[in-house]
Structure 1
């Protein structure tokens, strides 16, 4: 039969004659079920008690994640183990094909589910800490797929499903899938390449090749999702990003330097201009104190002195708001200090009436009887 009793269990059952109720199997079954029930409840209660009283483990601790996910499959396994033992005492293991198969299938699914959740939450916990190791969300998908494959293989083994016909046609199926899934495979390889190249990670602000700018919200097996400032989601295939030019404004550090051009009229005290600009930076909370702001005297323009204010913001998306506040305060400060901001001007001159060009003399023209002007030679004749 499909399900046999393990050697260890056979030895245990052979020594059952020395146990109480050995001559009364139903009493032994009841004792096993009661013991399994109380043991499973004890494990459940102890797990909750341990998690509730463990203040030294934060909510995102790997230890807490492990115990939260493992205690439920553990007490369910004990309960199902009691049922399996009861069936073994009654001699139903070899005859109860579907019951035992269902018990083992439930155990496999429960533990694979726990392993999937532990792996996924562990990756999120590692990414949330200030660690040198950071895993892309794509590895969560790989971990899930790997465990799903393991679950499928385990269930096939439990139910003794013959996979030889599937293996015989695996070559042909592989060729068909390879041709049909070229784009998907390209996206998968592109996602892995982007991770190992450290092009970007979740939360980074990137600029795509077509000029779209947004925050990376998810890196999947097939594509990367970007959320723009207009709250629009853009899904880009990984193969496209792998072969395109991507600007990461959050790397190597999330802070970004902004450049604000400033022009003043010739004759303005440049030291006064620098003092005003640095004072404006001190009044804006969006600008970082370190690195400090700087004022650069760029060049002598055609009609103005050209300066440039350099400052840093904590996040790339703070750039436009910071520039807006700088421009408003600079305009007010320059107005109070009587500093002129030059702008292009155009002069238009008009000629006097005495200098007007005299009108042309009228020309006398003659026409024949049919109203046609004769040619120059005929009129001379």
Structure 2
């Protein structure tokens, strides 16, 4: 009897061993098929797809394919590992743990693929911004965007993972919403400045190096555009720090846009006995004799007003660089006063005649 029981136990163990060998073999076959499929995917992405993207005028698609090929093939391998684990007749808890771990790996790989695609798109967009608005713009805009995208993708991956394990993501979202509201109320000014800084970087009303003038009369060169403040270096070599929210809600003048040319104006009064046409000619020729004054648009002189003691004249001229406007104005003023003296043209000053009546 004992021999019969031992024989039955041995036969049962052999059947169990054969059963597990068969199940493991099926899992290995599934994983092998997916591994082969990953090699096919890699071959297609490295050999055939570049032939198609070669017909496009941009290299963006080539860079995207090059960056997503390794994680895409790895994703197929992890997918095969997931189905291989699911095919094994393991206990329920073992299934949950193993398949859950492989599922998390798949989510991570998918997140990496999406992040790499978006990173290439942002890099391409940054290069376009640099071509349009000058070098350095991409280094200001793209890094904050990349951080925001990364946080967004990680949040989505976390919610998908929690949803897979039947966690209540509504309560998580509610807690995050309440926390975000509390943080937003506590730091609303800082957030307003950060959002305004991002708006300034995207809208580009001015660039680093541009000379701007505020409604308050202050003006200077933009030294830095940050997420919270903008720094302006004034002409007297002081640093003006302005919150971005104020710059977004005020009117300002960009002296460097659409180009660096600037228009200067000189007002001068001449005596009533002066020949107006002669005065105009002298002023225009004086401006043209200064090398930094542009011949096109040509300088212009106008008779603009009748003053109490002088005829009001105005000279308009253009310079190539707005930073040289004051220096050029100084040189023209010096030449004008010398030319007026040479031609006998007076620059009168206000006079007042007082009549005294003698009482009888």
Q: TM-score, normalised by structure 1?
A: 0.59
**Change in 2 beyond 3 A, CA 1:179/1:333:** same
Secondary structure of the structure 2 residue equivalent to 1:83: helix
Aligned residue number for residue 67 of structure 2: 73
User: Corresponding residue for 1:200?
Assistant: 205
Give 1:324's match in structure 2, choosing from 330, 339, 349.
330
Measure the CA separation in 2 of the matches of 1:81 and 1:296: 76
Matched, 1:160 2:165: no
Query: 1:293·1:311 contact (CA, 8 Å) conserved in 2?
Result: yes
Q: Distance in 1 between matches of 2:291 and 2:65?
A: 48
Conserved? CA contact 1:260–1:308, under 8 Å: yes
* Corresponding residue number in structure 2 for 1:310: 316
Quick one: structure 1 residues 73 and 137, their matched pair in 2 at CA, closer, same or farther if it must change by over 3 Å? closer
For the 8 Å contact 2:129–2:138, the answer to whether it is kept is no
Query: Which range is displaced more, 135-144 or 183-192?
Result: 135-144
Which residue is 1:177 aligned to? 183
Give the whole-Å Cα distance in 1 for the aligned partners of 2:235 and 2:70. Answer: 47
Cα deviation for residue 171 of structure 1 reads 5.4
Structure 1 residues 188 and 37: CA distance shift in structure 2, 3 A = closer
Highest CA radius of gyration, 1 or 2? Answer: 1
Q: Is the 8 A contact 1:105 1:158 kept in 2?
A: no
How far did 1:274 drift? 1.9
> For 2:162, what is the secondary structure of its paired residue?
coil
1:197-254 per-residue CA deviation (whole Å, 9 max, x = no partner) reads: x893436532134543134466555333445456765442123234555344457886
Deviations 1:84-113 (A, max 9, x none): 355357548963644552343133134224
> 2:128 aligned to 125, 128, 132, which one?
125
The TM-score with structure 2 as length reference comes to 0.61
* Contact 1:40–1:76, Cα closer than 8 Å, also in 2: no
Distance in 2 (alpha carbons) for counterparts of 1:250 and 1:129: 15
Q: What SS class does the counterpart of residue 155 from structure 1 fall into?
A: helix
CA contact (8 A) 1:280 1:326 kept: yes
How far is the alpha carbon of 1:309 from its aligned partner?
Answer: 0.8
- Name 2:277's counterpart in structure 1: 271
The answer for the alignment partner of 2:267 in structure 1 is 261
Q: Which residue of 2 aligns with 1:111?
A: 114
Q: Aligned-residue CA RMSD in angstroms?
A: 4.9
Taking structure 1 as reference, are residues 157 and 331 closer, same or farther at Cα in structure 2, changes over 3 Å only? Answer: same
Match of 2:298, SS? coil
- CA–CA separation in structure 2 for the residues paired with 1:331 and 1:136: 49
State the match for 1:187 in structure 2.
193
Contact preservation (8 Å) 2:71, 2:112: no
For residue 237 of structure 1, what is the aligned residue in structure 2?
Answer: 243
Alignment partner, residue 101 of structure 1: 104
Q: CA deviation at 1:330?
A: 3.6
Within the alignment, does 1:212 sit opposite 2:218 as a pair? yes
Displacement of 1:297 in angstroms is 2.8
Equivalent residue, structure 2, for 1:359: none
How far is the alpha carbon of 1:180 from its aligned partner? 0.7
CA distance in 2, matches of 1:305, 1:292: 23
Distance 1:283 1:68 in 2: 56
Q: Is the 8 A contact 2:127 2:138 kept in 1?
A: no
1:87 is matched with which residue: 64, 81, 95? 81
